[in-house]
Structures are given as C-alpha cells and as structure tokens.
Amino acid sequence: MSISTKALQKTDPESPFQVKLIERRDPRPDDVVIEIRAAGICHSDIHTIRNEWGEAHFPLTVGHEIAGVVSAVGTDVSRYSVGDRVGVGCLVNSCGECEECVAGEEQNCLRGNVGTYNSIDVDGTVTQGGYAERIVVNERFVCRIPDELDFDVAAPLLCAGITTYSPITRWDIKSGDKVAILGLGGLGHMGVQIAAAKGAEVTVLSRSLRKAEIAAELGAHRTLATTKEGFFEEHRGEFDFILNTISADIDVDSYLRLLKPHGVMAVVGLPPTAQSLHFNALISGAKVLTGSNIGGIRQTQEMLDFCAEHGFGARIEKIGVTGVDEAYDRVVAGDVQFRFVIDTSTFNEVEAV
C-alpha cells in the first residue's frame, strides 16, 4: 500500500512543471508522514531538474527545503508525534553505522547517503522531493521547527541555513571576528545573519553596492564593491574568515590575500568550472582554503534553534505551484531577494493531470 499525493513533476529537462499524482511509500515502523506547508527553491533543484549536472532520473520531483506538520507516525517512532512542526533537508537516509554517521555527520556517510530527491533509495526507487503535498521520511532525518519560526521562512533554512551555519560554526566565528561574506544571494544572506548573530563584524563583498542597504538590514557592518579600483590592495590582510557563497569564477589568489595570517576561506558556492590557485597564496600567511557541504542532522537542529533564538529566518518571496517555472528563470537571472518558497496549499487550486 502507498500514499498518493499531488506533486510538481517534470518528465524531461525542457518540459514545464505539471501537477501529478505520485506515490509515497506506506510508512515503515520508523517513518514520519509530513503534510508539507512550504517548500523552498534551491538553485540545486534547478541544476538537477534541468539536467545541467547530468544523471537526472525522470519523471522527477525536486525540493529539499521542506517544512510542515506530522500527520502520522510509524509504530516505532519515538521522536515525533502527530501535530509536531517539522522540517526535512537534503538527506533522507544514510547507513547510520559508519564513523561519520555515528558522529552525526550523515552528509559524509562512508557508504553513501540518500538525497531527498534524485537518489536511489534503499528499496531501489528514485527519491522524490518536497514540491508536494506530503512526504514520508525516516524519523532520523526529520528536524523539529521551533514555534518562533513560520514555515515559509524556516523551509530554506533546511539547506541555505545549514550550508552557511556549518562552516561558520566549524571555524568558531565569534564576537570581534572580522568576517567577509562573498556574495549576497540565497546562501550569502543567511551567512550574514548567522555571522552577525554570533557577534562578528560582517562585511559583504559584492561586485557593486546595489545591495548595501539590505545587507545592513541583515546585520552587515558594511558592503564593499570588489570592482573598485585598488580594492584588493586596499583591503589586503583584513579578514579572519571569508565565506565564499558564489557559484562563479573568481581570482582565488586575490581573495585569499584579503585574509589575515592563519585566516580561513570556506567555500560553499560551486562554480561550473575548475578554479586556478597558486599555493603561494596559502603558504604565505599559513592560510586555509576549505569546503563545506551542508551539515549533519544534529547540527541542522542546532541551526534551527539558533535562528529561532535570534529571531530570524530566510528572506523570501512566496509563490504558488503554478509560478515555479517563472521563479526558476528569475533565480537564474538573480532576480529574487533571497529565496522563493512554494505555498503548498495552492495545490488545492490545481487538478492533477
């Protein structure tokens, strides 16, 4: 037996989204059934379903920024009850036994984790994501959404929030640290809020000063234009930490020279092409260039609680299920501040085809 639910689905990269009926598995003893209230749009969704990264399994429903309410639980579920406010991020399964999983780092599962969509699940089926009315997920991969966070501003935290929170926390950003956020988009705007809430002096690095006002609203001390003549010399050796959120080619060496000795650049944006690096930019000043990919479930819960405690979520624009194709084009054009979120109640307005 399975659960039938409306979902936005594509049958190939070029076709528009359609509302279809898809089947979720009948809950296993350790499963939670979630009625989805809000689903964020991540640029990864776009890359995947447009098959820009290859290996998309069609027909496909994407979405890994999911917020909703528990509507049913399996017989062995102990963490959640019907009516609980919950969220699901980028993962829905892992081995649970390797050293990374035991350490709460399921994103690094040594046997291979299972993504929320476009992954092969343990039963051999392709996982289908959160642009839907409901989803069934193992309780280990469900987080509790604090009452202080509305569903729509909480949903993007399950990806954009944890993606930026994890490196900021790993490198112990604290009061007095001079932090630069490179790029003020879906990821960058969360990085600004999180670093500022930890007490850092936050600078946004952008090509222009166009977003300076909203950067200040988010908690940035200032915004600097990287295209200004002499920028890299003027600000050489200024920052303790740079969070690089952009998915475009940059002069890595020049940005590393903005760091103080022993400074860190953490990369969470993924450019489409390989980037050039001269090791001297690292050796000089004993600097660190590191990457980060989301975080484990335990840290994701920590991030949600942190955001609730400090009174912020994602800055969003809410859309209905019929507006996703247009929203994708706007994301690619950079025309959103800062995350689109699908109001899944609008599935009621559309018949499945």
Q: Which residues contact 282 (CB under 8 A, 6 or more apart)?
A: 256, 288, 289
Count of CB atoms within 10 A of residue 26's CB? 12
Would you state the structure tokens that stand for residue 226, as one six-digit string?
Answer: 């990287």
Query: How many residues comprise the chain?
Result: 353
- Domain boundaries of the chain, sorted by first residue: 2-159+295-349, 163-291
Q: Tell me which residue of 136, 140, 138, 170 sits closest to 68, measured CA to CA.
A: 136
- The pLDDT value recorded for residue 54 is 85
DSSP 305: H
Task: Using the structure block, give the residue that is written with the tokens 């940059």.
Answer: 250
- The pLDDT value recorded for residue 122 is 87
Q: What are phi and psi of 168, to 5 degrees?
A: -60, -40
- The pLDDT value recorded for residue 272 is 83
Domain spanning 163-291, CATH architecture: 3-Layer(aba) Sandwich (3.40)
Task: Using the structure block, give the residue that is written with the tokens 């307005």.
Answer: 349
Q: Tell me which residue of 335, 306, 334 sits closest to 161, measured CA to CA.
A: 306
pLDDT averaged per 10 residues in sequence order, the chain, 353 residues: 92 96 96 98 96 93 98 97 98 97 97 97 94 98 98 98 98 98 97 98 97 97 97 98 95 97 97 92 97 97 98 98 98 94 98 95
Torsion of CA 272, 278, 282, 285, to 10 degrees: -140
- The pLDDT value recorded for residue 285 is 97
- The pLDDT value recorded for residue 1 is 59
CB 195 within 8 A of CB 168: yes
Q: pLDDT tens-digit profile of 228-274?
A: 999 999 999 999 999 999 999 999 999 999 999 999 999 999 888 89
Task: Using the structure block, give the residue that is written with the tokens 């639980």.
Answer: 73
pTM, to two decimals: 0.96
Rg of the chain in Å (alpha carbons) = 20
DSSP 250-295: --HHHHHTTEEEEEEEEE----SS-----THHHHTTT-EEEE----
Of the options 3.90.180.10, 3.30.300.30, 1.10.645.10, 3.40.640.10, the CATH number for the domain spanning 2-159+295-349: 3.90.180.10
